[in-house]
Structure 1
């Protein structure tokens, strides 16, 4: 990922929090010299060294070789920025946050590990409901998926949030985004540029 110095984000706890909060990501690999992409929910393990997900056995990415390097791309709030919001000259652009994680894959079809993964995913996304759904997966459903464990080898983080603009322009962009209803991106900008 191209990351100009203005937009580089240090790899710290906030990056791992970003991964956890934006866990629906793109799993990108290469098969027969062609890119393959699957959108999947991803979990970060407790010690922040691995990503874990599953794909259907029929998915070409279920045939990834152990040890193959893959890319997992996470994105957060994003939106168009009009130059009409600036006090000084500018061009149309897009503000966004993204984290790319590279890692080595290990596959598994072990029913115990698959059960643990789908239970963890269910817990993560059901916990906010008054009556969370309790998983019960027939064996044949678990046999239809492959677990992918991705050992993290590199992380790149980018926050392109108008850091290269004047304070007046930054405030104008935040106000315009709020007016348009893109409050999550406006909030991310406020945090990044320390603007209250």
Structure 2
């Protein structure tokens, strides 16, 4: 991913926090030279000094079979994004787009059944713990769980290279930056509102 220095993020803790909050990612592999992708909820896991991305996909999805032949898998995570009009600047320029994106590269492997059960248990806890009537692993019938396990494949990807870009108008002067936030707030759509909130919190200008 091309990342100008203005927008490069290198703080590992910040990147992990972003992945935890924006955990619906895209996994990209190749099969006979053709890129293939699957969009999945994913989870970050740490073992010792190593970080892993874990998840599962349908057994009928052929992508998991490409894990064995791919030297590296690409995982992409995205945050808010919004169009930025150059009419919001105090000088002539061209429009652009603000966004947050993280790319991770690593080697994928298939989870054993006990590892898959642990992965599913923890994923349910992550997304269900705040619910009024949480659906947790130990509350589901063994028959249902066993039938569902037969239809999915769990995987983990040991994270190697990380590329992170937050393009949030950091290269603009304070006047333009403040004006961009105000214009985004008045756009009247969720993406623009999220971007305005993010820009305001991140740089507090």
TM-score (norm 2): 0.88
CA distance in 1, matches of 2:186, 2:33: 45
Closer, same or farther: CA 66–112 of 1 in aligned 2, 3 Å: farther
CA distance in 2, matches of 1:33, 1:65: 14
SS of corresponding position for 1:9: coil
CA distance in 2, matches of 1:134, 1:12: 30
* 5+ residue gaps, structure 1: none
1:67–1:106 Cα contact (<8 Å) kept: no
2:57–2:153 Cα contact (<8 Å) kept: yes
Aligned-pair CA distance for 1:66: 6.8
Q: How do residues 21-170 of structure 1 correspond to structure 2 at under 5 angstroms? A: 21-47=21-47, 49-63=51-65, 64-65=67-68, 68-108=71-111, 110-135=112-137, 136=140, 137-170=144-177
CA distance in 2, matches of 1:178, 1:187: 8
1:81–1:93 Cα contact (<8 Å) kept: yes
SS of corresponding position for 1:49: strand
Q: How many residues align?
A: 194
SS of corresponding position for 1:114: helix
2:181–2:200 Cα contact (<8 Å) kept: yes
1:111–1:143 Cα contact (<8 Å) kept: no
Which one of the candidate residues 167, 171, 195 is aligned to 1:185? 195
SS of corresponding position for 1:138: helix
2:128–2:134 Cα contact (<8 Å) kept: yes
Query: Which residue in 1 is equivalent to 2:19?
Result: 19
Aligned-pair CA distance for 1:67: 6.7
Closer, same or farther: CA 66–149 of 1 in aligned 2, 3 Å: farther
1:27–1:70 Cα contact (<8 Å) kept: yes
CA RMSD of aligned residues (A): 1.6
